[in-house]
Amino acid sequence: MGGCASKDKKDTVVDGDAAAAATDKAAENGEEAAANTTAEPSATTANGDAINNEGKLNIMVDAAVLAKLEDGFAKLAASDSKSLLKKYLTKEVFDNLKNKKTPTFGSTLLDVIQSGLANHDSGVGIYAPDAEAYTVFADLFDPIIEDYHGGFKKTDKHPAKDFGDVNSFGNLDPNNEFVISTRVRCGRSMEGYPFNPCLSEAQYKEMEEKVSSTLSGLEGELKGKFYPLTGMEKSVQQQLIDDHFLFKEGDRFLQAANACRYWPSGRGIYHNDNKTFLVWCNEEDHLRIISMQMGGDLGEVFRRLTNAVNEIEKRVPFSHDDRLGFLTFCPTNLGTTIRASVHIKLPKLAANLAKLEEVAGKYNLQVRGTRGEHTEAEGGIYDISNKRRMGLTEYQAVKEMYDGITELIKIEKSM
């Protein structure tokens, strides 16, 4: 796999142990960071990498990584993949990026694209192993971000966080005819930590402890309990599965991205007493904050999420970028990171899937199967959510979903 070897100490390195842990990971992956002998080094990092007079690391991409990249690129280019990775990873872009590494963790292009190389049926196909990857590999990330997020260009800047008037959304389906359940979630990365592929086991455990202690301070309707995956009792595990709360190891897209290391260390789930508020710790993102309930009362669901995010943010600093907004492992979740969705039954529209997709597209909505991405609709129930998360506020992202679902219900009633 790719690198994530620790380099010079930056904000993303948590403590003095981080460099050693990341170096161990590089050794695990069979990589050696080689100093570039063309520049005169003026210093070295704790793990011996040379730094030139400009303070930049002189490291070369390992030959084995380059070989994997060349082979993977050739196979992807010859495939019938419809992924955004294939669309934008031209030979020119590939040649420009294949020898680059991120400064702090030494992440390579392979770390970024290995999931898409392994899974040609990916819709997107890339992940950011650390925050710096969005800058170092911008020639690939920027066009994919623009395509996915409805025209968010590399010259655009994501607006400041704004949940707007949380009381402005009502019940999408007061008579409970169409909407089975409503859910709004957002992702957050903890400041000072890289993303999944570059985390050491010690960092996973440290993060879990921070999240658990932080959430234990929540009160009111957010009050609940944290359940670590490590050592979880079978009865608790089964109950969480029955409640559709438990995330499981085995997502091949995440596994290929090297995001499931040390499983189940450092992973856990928190839910409130009413089972309407959830936090996932270290599944795909550091935190997935989720508000949900049966029926179509989007207003209540959104108010609860906003309250939770604001409460957690008081206690835990989140990674944020002035241009990209809140930073996440997958570029589809950048910006607001908001995904507002409903499970909805639209039997007449479902009989004409092209029509359903057409109307959803007008409102920037994404239609998925009942259990989310890469699944089928069970019993005619679809998971429909806002698609754009960048270049608009949290309020506007949820409003796109609200307006689109309102229109879909109106069309279903008229058919």
- Shared domain for 305 and 200, answered yes or no, is yes
181 is in an annotated binding site: yes
At 215 the pLDDT is: 94
> Looking at 96-105, 188-197, 349-358, which range is the least confident one?
349-358
Q: Indicate which residue of 12, 23, 108, 332 is catalytic.
A: 332
Active-site hit among 31, 132, 208, 284: 284
- 187: in domain: yes
Examine residue 2 and state whether it is found in any structural domain, yes or no: no
Q: What pLDDT is recorded for position 4?
A: 67
Of 131, 149, 167, which one is at a domain's C-terminal end? Answer: 149
130 and 245 inside one domain: no
Question: For 62-88, what is each residue's pLDDT tens digit?
Answer: 999 999 999 999 999 999 999 999 999
Q: Are 139 and 377 in contact (CB under 8 A)?
A: no
Q: Please count the residues of the chain.
A: 415
Whether 188 is a known active-site residue: answer no
Per the annotation, does 211 bind a ligand?
A: no
What pLDDT band is residue 256 in, cutting at 50, 70 and 90? very high
Q: Give yes or no: 406 in active site.
A: no
271 is in an annotated binding site: no
**Residue 21 confidence (pLDDT) above 50:** no
Residues 190 and 145 in one domain: no
User: Is 343 marked within a binding site?
Assistant: yes
Q: What letter would DSSP give residue 244?
A: T
Residue-number span of the structural domain to which 88 is assigned? 58-149
pLDDT of residue 255 exceeding 80: yes
Residue 9 is predicted with a pLDDT of 30
Give CA–CA dist 340/296, Å, rounded.
12
Task: Say which of 4, 108, 132, 185 is annotated catalytic.
Answer: 185
Please tell me which residue in 28, 177, 373, 378 is annotated as part of the active site. Answer: 373
Amino acid letter, 142 = D
Query: Is the pLDDT score of 241 beyond 90?
Result: no
CATH code of the domain in which 75 resides:
1.10.135.10
Give the residue-averaged pLDDT of 161-182. Answer: 93
267 and 214, same domain (yes or no): yes
Average pLDDT, the chain: 84
Assess whether 284 carries a catalytic annotation. yes
Residue 279 among known ligand-binding residues: no
Rounded to an integer, what distance in angstroms lies between the CA atom of residue 171 and that of residue 406?
Answer: 10
Q: Has 340 been labeled as part of a binding site?
A: yes
Is residue 188 located within the same domain as residue 115? Answer: no
Is 342 annotated in a binding site? The answer is yes
Torsion angle of C-alpha atoms 389, 88, 72, 262, degrees rounded to 10: -20
Burial of residue 252, with CB atoms counted within 10 A of its CB: 0-12 exposed, 13-18 middle, 19 or more buried: middle
183 is in an annotated binding site: yes
The answer as to whether 6 is a domain residue is no
pLDDT digits (tens, 9 = 90+) for 272-289: 999 999 999 998 999 999
304, 330, 400, 412: the catalytic one is: 330
Residue 48, pLDDT > 70, answer no
Same domain assignment for residues 145 and 249 = no
Q: Is 378 annotated as a binding residue?
A: no
The mean-pLDDT minimum among 46-55, 119-128, 399-408 falls in: 46-55
Does residue 365 contact residue 374 with C-beta atoms inside 8 Å? Answer: no
Question: What is the CATH classification number for the domain harbouring 282?
Answer: 3.30.590.10
Does 329 lie in the same domain as 193? yes
> How much is the pLDDT for 13?
31
Rounded CA separation 124/86 (Å):
9
Q: Domain boundary residue among 128, 149, 170?
A: 149
54 is a catalytic site residue: no
> What pLDDT, on a 0 to 100 scale, did the predictor assign at position 377?
56
Residue of 267, 339, 388, 389 with catalytic role: 339
- For residues 97 and 213, membership in a common domain is answered with no
Residue 168 belongs to some domain of the structure: no
332 annotated active-site: yes
374 annotated to bind ligand: no
In a domain, 328, yes or no: yes
Q: Is 309 annotated as a binding residue?
A: no
Asked if residue 320 has pLDDT above 90, the reply is: yes
pLDDT at 3: 57
Q: Could you tell me if 191 and 90 lie in one domain?
A: no
- Do residues 188 and 326 share a domain? yes
Residue 87 lies in a domain: yes
pLDDT of residue 23: 34
The three-point CA angle 287-288-290 to 5° equals: 140
Q: Active-site residue among 252, 303, 323, 368?
A: 368
Choosing from 261, 288, 388, 389, the catalytic residue is 288
Number of domains in the chain: 2
210-214, 245-249, 344-348: the lowest-pLDDT one = 245-249
Residue 15: pLDDT over 70: no
Return the structure tokens found at 247.
Answer: 């995330």
The answer as to whether 260 is a domain residue is yes
Percent of the chain predicted with pLDDT > 70: 83
Predicted local distance difference test score (pLDDT) of residue 328: 95
- Whether 24 is in a domain gets the answer no
Do 211 and 129 belong to one domain?
A: no
Residues 280 and 367 in one domain: yes
* Residue 369 assigned as binding residue: yes
